[in-house]
Each structure stands twice: as structure tokens, then as C-alpha cells.
Structure 1
Amino acid sequence: MNKLEKLQGKTIVITGASSGAGRAAALEFAKYHTNLVLAARNVAALEEVKSECEAIGAQALIVPTDTSDSKAMIALANAANDWHGKIDVWVNNAGVLAAGDFDKTPMAVHEQVIKTNLLGYMNGAHAVLPILKAQGYGTIINNISIGGFLPVPYGAGYTAAKFGLRGWSEALKGELSEWPYIYVCDLFPAFLDTPGIQHAGNHTGKVLKPAPPVYDPFRLAKTMVKVAADPSANTYVGSASLLLKIGHAFLPEFMTKMTGLVMRRYLKSADPIALSDGNVFTTLDYGMSTHGGFGLPGKPKAHRKYIAGVLVAGMALGFYLVSKKK
């Protein structure tokens, strides 16, 4: 029996399971006849995912949950534990996005983005850890994204949450080092072709699109399954993710200025759209599929040479500018 086959009968909790990467993860885990606990705010979408997963061979339980509500997360953990008497894997995945000039985006929006993207993950771990410690084992998977290393200009609240997530998770790993069979696994995917950006709070007044290259969310879902079967502390999903991390590590000021420049140029030419809070405060009734329709032709590896070329050129320019100052 290989490691993936050992997932059969495991209880897997997935937050943000109604669309995008969370929905893809549910479908991918379902292939291994797992017991899936599906959490999100959109009950109708969860019902669809439940039916799809059961058709594949999994058992599924839906628990409507707002991850920013700590009491709701405790209820989710208890429901999952009561269902089969254990929780094997907890996937922190639910997240929201809001774009706009920092001072023009309402503070209530920034606050809710942080509540969902940072405190939501903390709420999840806080709720499930007593159960994992009592049973002596378990895995927490945090879908952090490359945003944990690379700032997103015009998405300051999102960046604050993602940078905070990385620090919080590192601290948690240190605490749990005395628990050898409890794992905390962080995933850092590059940009994904999900409906997330369609759902985003938009205070730019312009149509938003993800920066290429964008990757298939099932690539992340397969990584979640792999990490659940064979835990790893840090995993980078997509070559762009690791390259962007390296680029920012060597030239943080240059990379930050470049991302701001790219965003400004895009927003100048993008089509206008009405301002919206998107799904920041409440769920939406559209775009609940796994994909957002932004994918580029070709396999992810096909983008590698272009990404590398751009980063190498950018680094060379950065080093040149630094040497000129000297």
C-alpha cells in the first residue's frame, strides 16, 4: 500500500470548500475514499460539492461555517470529531481578497480580510489542536500562497494577513516540536486560476485579473493530498512561487517597486467597473466552480523559462542600479 492509499477512511476537514482550490481539494481527496468535512459560508455550493465527492466514493458532511468566527470554528471541529471520532487532517484554506488604494479602501474591509485570512486560520488551529493533542497525531495544512513572501501593492490588508500567517505558523511549528506526530504544513502556491479574484472586494474601480502565469487549482489540490499523506513543513507549488520568493529575498526593494509599477500600469488600462465589497463580508451566488477561466495554454513547466528570464533580467537591472548608486 502506498502513502496515498493510506488516506482511505481518514477524516479531512477543508475550509473554503465551496469553490476554487478548496473545492478542487475536496474532489481530489474524495478519490481516496476519505471522510470529508466541507466548510464554507455558501450552503448551496457545499451541497453540490458534497454530491460530487460522494459520487467519487467519499463520505461527506457539510458544516456551514464563517472561519472568522472563532465559535463557529470550534463547532466545526467538534462536528468533525463527533462524526467519526477523530480528525486526521485539517486544511486551512478559506480566504478573501480586497484590492484598492490602502487609504481609499474602507478600514472595515481591511479588517475583515485580516479576520478571514489570518484569524480564520488561527481560529481553525486553535479549535482543532486540543483534539489532535488528545489523540496524539494529526496534520494541519495552511494554504498561505506566495503572498506570504511577496507583497501585493493595492492589496495591503491581504499582504498583512499573509505575512502574518507565515510568522504565526513558524511560531506554531516551534511550539509543536515536542509533538512528533502533529504536523503543521505550509503551502505557497503561485497565482491560481480560481474564481477568487471574481469574488474579490474591488475598490480600484477597474476589472481585476490575476497576473500570469496562473496555475490549475488541481495542482495545489494534488499537493494538499500529497502533503496529507507525507507531511512536509514548507512546499512551493509552481515554479513561479519559488522564483518570486528568491527574487524578493535578493532584491526586496526592487521587487516591491516593480510589483507596484506593474499594478499601476494594469489599472490605468483596465476596463472600469463599479466598486464592490465582493465576498469579503458575505458569500456570493456566482462563480462557485473550481476554475476562474484565467488559465494560460500549456503546462505549468512551460512558463518556467519565461518567468526565469524575467526575474534574471530584473535582478540584473537591480544590481546595475545598485552599483550605479555606489
Structure 2
Amino acid sequence: MENQIADKVVVITGASSGAGRATAFELAEGKASLVLASRNEAVLEELAEECRKIGSEVLVVPTDVTDNTAMHRLAVKAFEWKGRIDVWVNNAGVLAAGTFDEMPWEAHQKVIDTNLLGYMSGAHAVLPHFKRQGAGILINNISIGGYVAVPFGGAYTASKFALRGFFESLKGELTEWPDIHIVDLFPAFLDTPGIQHAGNYTGKVLKPSPPVYDPRIVARSVRASIIHPKSTRYPGGAPWLFKLGHALAPEWMSKITGMLMKGYFKIADPTEVTDGNLFNSVNFSMSTNGNSRPRLSPQTKRMISAGLLLGGAFGLATYLLSKRTGTV
């Protein structure tokens, strides 16, 4: 497996923390040639040195994914470094939480610029190189938020739903390029510092909704996607269940999620409103894990799974009954 990773030129955006950082370590162990990108150059240099100690060659290119010119410059520098780009990992992302109409419009716009246009910009920058080579793998860390809405995270949800549609469109566009692969990853919530870096306009301490997974599951999915590219992957077990629940009962899923979040805000500890890392990089919690709790016990996982399946079954039964009675 390592031999299939060794010397691959891999660009990773959002590499300074969370899933991007975990992916850098995962691929460094396989001796990939890494191009690390994010806004925080100092943290990238520290990460690069750690990856070099593991045995990987590393190029650091400070990049803001909301700047299309900078993204094209990233692609050019990566290509000039080794004469090719084998893999591009779109990973940089931000979150802004709060009541939609009470949040600054600029916060919504920044989420869209980063999460949606940043990924599109990555594709726009790297595809000419892939086409020139006749091959390449574009991996997108989208999240299960591409299927299941996140109340109080409207722009985040809009960006993730849009990403799923955009890359489905692009896959259809690239059918004449059989050796250019697009892989979409849909993990559930990850234990990363992202929740600590979020723009938080709720006035309450944010915590990720369970089940919470180690970001290394995304890193392993990236490695697997380099070795065996496939259109979609669902790291961890929960994303499949969330996707099924949404497919069978989308309205039920949205209402339940909204009720759970409103219930949490009633008991959550207060905190100051902050823009987080929306407009500028931060210099705290720049690690792989965010030490989020709680993680789920096997019993709780089974309860959630049963609830999602029952809700989905209820939604399907309601739909079939409505169709039979002519109310749909």
C-alpha cells in the first residue's frame, strides 16, 4: 500500500489543522511528496518539518482558498516542483453558527466563499494540469452536511449541498477523461479544532453533534481514494444512516435536528460572540484533534441507528400512504 503512495505529489488545502493535518501525517508515512496550503504559514512550516522527519518531501505554499489567483499560483508551484500533480485534496473549510437573519451578512458570504467557491477554485486550478497529464485525482472533503441540513448553520449547509451538486455535474463533464477521478468524502462530525475556530454568533459554547469521529478516518479515506479512486466514500458508519434517514424522511430529519439544537442552546454555557477564523487565520488549537466530547458508547450508537432507521421507515410509510390516497 505504501508503494502506491510513495512519491505521489499531493496538494492539501486547509492543511494546518484538523482533517488536513491528519491527512498530511497519513500520507507522509507513505512517503508522498506533500504540498501544504493554508493561510497560516508559521503552522504550515511546523507541520512540514514534522512530515519531513517522518520521511516525506514537503513544499509549503501559503494560500487563501478564497483567492482564485492564489489557488492557480498554488497549482503552478506544485506542478513546477515535481513536474506533475497526482492528487489534489480540497479540504479547507469554515463554519459560522447562529440565527440566520441575526448574523452579519459578511459571515454568510465568507462561508460560501471558502467552502463552496474555494473548492470550485481548487478544481478550476488543478484540472488544466490533470488534463495536460491525462490523469489525476481530485478529492473533496464535503461532509455529511452535503445531505443533511444543519440548522443555525444555513450558509454552511448551502455550501455543502451545492458542493455535492457541483461535483456531480463535473463528474459528468469529465466522462471522456477516464483517468481523471473525482472522489467526494462525506464524513460525519469530526473531532477537530474546527468547532473552536468557528464564527460563533449564538452566544453559546459550540460542541459537535454526536457521533464524533477521529479526523484520521478522513485521512485514511484519502489514502484509500489515492489507491482505489471511487466516486463517493462515507468515512465511519454514521454517514450512511444519516443519508438514509434524509432520503426517506427529509422533513422529519430537519425538524428533529432543529429541536435538538434548540434544546442544546437552552442548557449550553454562555460565551462571547466571535468571528472565529472566518476573516483571518487563528493561532490557537492548530492541531489534528479538538478533544471534543462526548463520544458515543456502542449502546448510544445503536440507539441513534435504530432511531434513524425507524424515522426513515416512518417517513417511507407516510409517503407511500399519501401516494396511495392521492395526497402527494
TM-score grouping bracket, smaller chain normalisation: over 0.9
Contact 2:97 2:153 in 1 (8 A): yes
Q: 1:245 aligns with which of 238, 243, 246?
A: 243
- Taking structure 1 as the reference length, the TM-score comes to 0.95
Does residue 300 of structure 2 align to residue 309 of structure 1? no
Q: Distance in 2 between matches of 1:251 and 1:150?
A: 11
The Cα shift of 1:310 comes to: 2.2
Aligned to 2:153: 155
User: Which residue type is aligned with residue 266 of structure 1?
Assistant: Y
User: Which residue type is aligned with residue 293 of structure 1?
Assistant: N
Q: Distance in 1 between matches of 2:316 and 2:81?
A: 57
Aligned to 1:290: 288
Taking every aligned residue pair, what percent have the same amino acid on both sides? 54
Contact 2:9 2:87 in 1 (8 A): yes
Q: What do the CA deviations read for 1:4-46 (whole angstroms, capped 9, x no partner)?
A: 4211111000000000000000000001111100000011110
Where 1:81 maps in the other structure, the secondary structure is helix
Q: 1:51 aligns with which of 49, 52, 56?
A: 49
Q: CA RMSD in A?
A: 1.9
Q: Structure 1 segments of 4 or more deviating over 4 A? A: 295-299, 301-304, 316-326
Q: 2:140 aligns with which of 116, 127, 142?
A: 142
User: Which residue type is aligned with residue 309 of structure 1?
Assistant: A
Q: 1:123 aligns with which of 121, 124, 127?
A: 121
The Cα shift of 1:313 comes to: 3.8
The Cα shift of 1:230 comes to: 1.0
Aligned to 1:178: 176
Q: Distance in 1 between matches of 2:32 and 2:87?
A: 11
Contact 1:215 1:295 in 2 (8 A): no
Aligned to 1:257: 255
Contact 1:216 1:295 in 2 (8 A): no
Q: Distance in 2 between matches of 1:74 and 1:210?
A: 33
Where 2:37 maps in the other structure, the secondary structure is strand
Going from structure 1 to structure 2, the CA distance change for 1:38 and 1:309 (only over 3 Å counts) comes to same
Question: Which is further off, 4-13 or 104-113?
Answer: 4-13
Residue correspondence of structure 1 range 267-286 to structure 2 within 5 A = 267-286=265-284
Q: 2:73 aligns with which of 72, 75, 91?
A: 75
Aligned to 1:106: 104
Aligned residues: 323
Where 1:237 maps in the other structure, the secondary structure is coil
Q: Distance in 2 between matches of 1:70 and 1:315?
A: 41
Question: Which is further off, 287-296 or 63-72?
Answer: 287-296
Q: Distance in 1 between matches of 2:47 and 2:162?
A: 30
User: Which residue type is aligned with residue 286 of structure 1?
Assistant: F
Q: Distance in 2 between matches of 1:208 and 1:297?
A: 15
Contact 1:213 1:303 in 2 (8 A): no
Going from structure 1 to structure 2, the CA distance change for 1:228 and 1:320 (only over 3 Å counts) comes to closer
User: Which residue type is aligned with residue 178 of structure 1?
Assistant: E
The Cα shift of 1:317 comes to: 5.7
Going from structure 1 to structure 2, the CA distance change for 1:184 and 1:320 (only over 3 Å counts) comes to closer
Aligned to 1:200: 198
Q: 1:39 aligns with which of 37, 40, 61?
A: 37
Contact 1:28 1:222 in 2 (8 A): yes
Where 2:94 maps in the other structure, the secondary structure is coil
Q: What do the CA deviations read for 1:155-179 (whole angstroms, capped 9, x no partner)?
A: 0000010000000000000011100
User: Which residue type is aligned with residue 144 of structure 1?
Assistant: I
Q: Distance in 1 between matches of 2:101 and 2:42?
A: 35
- Taking structure 2 as the reference length, the TM-score comes to 0.94
Q: 2:14 aligns with which of 16, 21, 42?
A: 16
Q: 2:208 aligns with which of 188, 207, 210?
A: 210
User: Which residue type is aligned with residue 272 of structure 1?
Assistant: P
Where 1:61 maps in the other structure, the secondary structure is strand
Q: Distance in 2 between matches of 1:26 and 1:195?
A: 16
Aligned to 1:85: 83
Contact 1:239 1:304 in 2 (8 A): no
Q: Distance in 2 between matches of 1:295 and 1:269?
A: 16
User: Which residue type is aligned with residue 135 of structure 1?
Assistant: Q
Q: Distance in 1 between matches of 2:171 and 2:318?
A: 39
Q: Distance in 2 between matches of 1:199 and 1:298?
A: 23
The Cα shift of 1:302 comes to: 7.1
Instruction: Give the gaps of 5 or more residues in structure 1.
Output: none
Where 1:36 maps in the other structure, the secondary structure is strand
Q: Distance in 2 between matches of 1:18 and 1:297?
A: 24
Aligned to 2:62: 64
User: Which residue type is aligned with residue 10 of structure 1?
Assistant: K
The Cα shift of 1:274 comes to: 0.8
The Cα shift of 1:314 comes to: 3.1
The Cα shift of 1:320 comes to: 7.9
